[in-house]
Structure 1
Amino acid sequence: MVLTSSGEAVPVLHVIERQVPALGSFAPVRLRAPYFGLQRDIHVAPFQRLVLSGSEVEYLFGQPAVLVPAGNLLGTGTALPGAPGSSPLITYCQAVLPDHEPLLAAGAMTESLFLGRLRRDPQRLAASLLAPLGAAALPQHRQPKFPVLRAFDAAVLAERRTA
């Protein structure tokens, strides 16, 4: 079970893990506390999206919340490049939930794995890490509720939060 943004506990259907080189486009991002509600620093994949909300988000983007890839926060003071250990490899994990929704990670809201209509596409499913599970074991997710910010917009929002 994990806690969602609404405080509800939902079951984790599957946990997907992948070990990759901790370099280049797979290099981890260290999100720094206390930004984004974090209670401690955490390391995430650069493509892991955070769910950010608040008055600045509503004012700047006209939305109650937005999705921001962690890699887009590098260079803003809220995130730093860095590996959690000295290993040349890192293992990234994603939780598959019944619905695509934010979950709580060390105080920050992060996005669960978005599957969309993957189970209806046999070729894409066969090429994914989810292939051994089969289409019947996977949920179908609606489109994300919130827009994904571009790199510049994410940097502007992060800079406003550090000021």
Structure 2
Amino acid sequence: MASGGKKTKIEDPANEDLKAESPEGEPTMEDQQTMFLPTDVTLKVEGKLFHLNKKRLSENSPVFKAMFESDFEEKHAEVIPLPGKKFREFEMFLTSFYFPHLIRPITEETVLDILPLADEYQVHHIKSKCAFRLDGMVINAKKNILTPKPFYDGCTMQNTTT
């Protein structure tokens, strides 16, 4: 395959990861509205606490919404333990949607940790971003498999006979 081939750039039209910050790097109105939300729920993961806002969680997750609005025992609990979850993974999951001023993009390194939580808590816009990232990874893997590489990795053979 010739190196002059056209490269395909994949763009995520729904990617809002960079929209949370103003051009000057100052917090946006959305940042200010969520930075100062009252923390009215605490989630406990591996003994560490996340102090969060029920409304913000409910806006993003129908699972959290049901937990806080239905007759589940968690509705009135001060601290809600989430057994079986890993702190680091749950933190990555939260930073993919909860804090607009801290939103981190979903990368090849984080997608497999975030996707199961996005699926479990039905955070559909994060599941879509994960699916997009996985699609990009598959396309890149296919390109790497199908692109022939030089055997000597760019080394040239020299004529040793004079």
Give the TM-score normalised by structure 1: 0.26
User: Which one has a bigger Cα radius of gyration?
Assistant: 2
Q: How does the TM-score come out when normalised to structure 2?
A: 0.26
More relative contact order, 1 or 2 (CA 8 Å, 6+ apart): 1
Structure (1/2) with the larger strand percentage:
1
Higher helix share: 2
